[in-house]
Amino acid sequence: MSIRPILIAPDPRLKAVSEPVARVDDEIKKLVDDMLESMYAAEGIGLAAIQVGVPRRVLVMDLAQKEGRREPQAFINPRILWASDETTLVQEGCLSVPDIWEDVERPSRIRAEFLDRDGTLQAIDAEELLATCLQHEMDHLNGILFIDHLSKLKRSIALRKVQKAKRLEKAS
């Protein structure tokens, strides 16, 4: 396993629409393992393949990581089958938009299907943080960042903050 660098907005590659995975082979399993290691190293709870520059429909997630446990999950070719009309406002952040936290409104509950790391088709009913996180990560596969759900003004303020932090980091 190896840690891969995470792309930071406004990197144009983050806007790419990712391609479906035709077969869950060793290359995809290696990608999943590297993504998990990269996510843990960055102390994130979710990561999409495009965030490490790979335009494939692959996500990893571990919501237990905040409590110091490890329950890694992979979602390959995930697809939303149903979403509730009811929505919730949850504060989101993203490893590609460091140190920015903003409320985003999304359906409260979703049903999704995906292939797991073994290539087996699975279905999941998600609510609360899992539903939010899955929708956030699935957005990445379509080139959408959580700040794209904000007003134009809030989005440009967020991007300016990220760029300023990047410049300071380079200068130090």
The one-character DSSP state at 155 is H
Cβ partners under 8 Å of residue 49, min gap 6: 18, 31, 35, 55, 56, 57, 58, 59
Number of shown-chain residues binding Ni ion (CB under 5 A): 1
Going by DSSP bridges, is the β-strand pair 58-61/109-115 parallel, antiparallel, or unpaired?
unpaired
Site for Ni ion in 79-98 (CB under 5 A): 94
Reply yes or no on whether 137 is catalytic: yes
Going by DSSP bridges, is the β-strand pair 46-48/87-94 parallel, antiparallel, or unpaired?
unpaired
The one-character DSSP state at 64 is T
Q: How far is the CB of 143 from Ni ion (least distance, A)?
A: 12
CB closer to Ni ion, 94 vs 110:
94
- Tell whether omega for the bond before 10 is within 30 degrees of 0, i.e. cis: yes
Q: Which member of 19, 113, 137, 169 is catalytic?
A: 137
CB closer to Ni ion, 21 vs 39:
39
The span from the CA of 100 to the CA of 122, in Å, is: 33
Q: How far is the CB of 52 from Ni ion (least distance, A)?
A: 12
CB closer to Ni ion, 105 vs 118:
105
Q: How far is the CB of 120 from Ni ion (least distance, A)?
A: 25
Q: How far is the CB of 171 from Ni ion (least distance, A)?
A: 26
Cα–Cα nearest to 20, from 60, 54, 45: 54
Site for Ni ion in 114-133 (CB under 5 A): none
Residue number with the smallest Cβ distance to Ni ion: 94
CB closer to Ni ion, 94 vs 134:
94
Interface with Ni ion (CB under 5 A): 94
- The catalytic residues are 137
